[in-house]
Amino acid sequence: MSRKLKGIAAAPGVAIAPIVHFHTTLDHIPTWQVGPDGVQAEVSRLGAAIDEVTAGLHSLQQELSSAIAKQDVRIYDAQMAILHDPTFKRDVENEIAAHGVNLEVALQRVIARYEGVFAAMDSPAMRERAADLRDIGRQLVVALVATERTKYTADGRDYLFAAEEFLPSDAGLLDREHIRGIVTAHGGKYSHGAILARSLGIPSVVGIEEIMLTTSTGALAIVDGDAGIVVLEPTQEDLDHYERQLREQRDIERRVAEVRLQSSVTPDGTHVRLCANVEGVRELDSLETGTIAGIGLFRTEFAFMERRQFPTEEEQVAMYRRAMQGAGGKPVTFRTLDVGGDKPLGYFRMPEERNPVLGWRGIRLCLDWPDILYTQIRAILRASALGHARVLLPMVTSRSEVVRCREVLDQLVQDLRDTGVAHDAEIELGVMVEVPALVHVLEDLLPIVDFVSVGTNDLVQYLLAVDRDNQRVAKMYDPFHPGVLRVLQQIAASAAAAGKPASVCGEIAGDHWFTPLLVGLGYRELSMAPVFLPRVKLMLRSFTADECRDLAARAVLMKSTREVRRLVQEEIQVRWERFLTGSAEVDA
């Protein structure tokens, strides 16, 4: 039976190959005492080591310049800046003189202190820069002990690189012809190692602490860099699924260039807005605004979670303005603070809850602490002067919650108008449909909102009473359940009857097998992680709107998840494969 380990999706794509363990740290750091007469000799060794590492980094830059993006080559400029930082050199020299230790030990101590400073920083991106320090220290010690680092190869065979972490200098040691994926115990999505993996096109999952303990060299595994999952001991069913996905990806890469900047439309002319889910301002730099209709979900809570205290109104305005600019003039939907459950704030004391997923979170928390909601909505309004913005309320259960939020929004709009502060006069207010009870009272609150967005991750979890992170029951978490489809149908029908747009922003929006069903149910806006956009756009071109309606109509009448999945396999999957290979085109 296969095992799935959940980590952080660092670089997209799928890889299937044997795992090979690599130990990227040095086994031995020489230690000796240095007297006053020996200090200058150690300082001279430092200068020589810096020169050698600098030359190596220049060589690595040249080697990789044709393989990675131009901006990513500058990662090594950042490392060289550390190498030649006068403060760094002075601190190392002082460590030698003050404590009578050799250069190798001094380097280890100074870098450990620097790492502690980075670890205390608010920004995850800055905390991850500590990896660059470790990498510089390692390169310097290698130069000092005259050790040649071993290449990361598997004797000419395909392999998955497994290690404690993947650092920038490791990129020069990879057998790029045969490496298929990277999985590490440590690291983050925004580390320089992860950025290089993405630039090199190597599927990567990081942050699986037990990977070196629970695997052995030679064991077959699957790295799913889209979902952030590593599958150990894969079954034949797992292999068939991911091998099909690999074939798809090759065909998608071939066809996506044809439609990348074209409209997201079915063959018979039905337009579907495809938007991006964004977790924070760092993701805006890689966002291709020409391929999206807007930002359909900007998760504001990540900016709160990165800090040691609540961000001020001015700090929030700056962040939201950055999002408006990053959207390239297209609409941005800001979800108000959604903390609690699995997203706590370290600086905000929250009560111990027996079941936090069903507890004090989302709009419930914000209405109990109205200053948080007031400040956030005012900041969004001020930033909205740069374009069109929408405010999305999470975890709504009742009409009264929406009424209170509408009152706050209307009052703030009036205040800004009275004081002459620029804002989007057409700002919209919407609700996330993720609490099942809301589905049955949706008609009551639709008159006071402008749109609805279905958060399928929580909605499906609550409908099926399944914790998808609980390995004992996770297999029961299946959005293709007929009961889920009927609820989605009811939401779309209620919104259409009220003349209000309905979108889907949960994971199924990015699942291309679901695309024809969602279109058939009446959804005309889907928001997803950008990596899934090409598949969904291509799937839209595989079925006419009438065919989508027929598929959805049959699916909601089915009596089991197995029947629905058979429909997907026999009709959607078959059409998709023929479409990708060009053996069948859909006529309008």
Residue with tokens 């404690």: 164
Phi, psi of 126 (to 5 degrees): -75, -35
Give me the half-sphere count of Cα atoms (radius 13 Å) on the Cβ side of residue 101.
17
Q: Which of 529, 484, 537, 531 is nearest to 507 (CA)?
A: 529
Phi/psi for 468 (5° steps) reads: -70, -15
CA 392 to chain centre: 20
Q: Which is the catalytic residue, given 275, 405, 505, 548?
A: 505
Give CA–CA dist 474/233, Å, rounded: 18
Residue 17, strand partner residues: 221
Q: What one-character DSSP code corresponds to residue 280? A: S
Residue 505 bears catalytic tag: yes
Q: How far is CA 119 from the centre of its chain?
A: 21
The 3-class secondary structure across 126-178, one letter per residue, is HHCCHHHHHHHHHHHHHHHCCCCCCCECCCCCCEEEEECCCCHHHHHHECCCC
Q: Tell me which of 192, 423, 481, 512 is the catalytic residue.
A: 192
| 264-295 CB burial, b ≥16 within 10 A, e <16 | bbbbeebebbbbbbbebbbbbeebeeebbbbb
Residue 512 designated active-site: no
Catalytic residues, by residue number, are: 192, 505
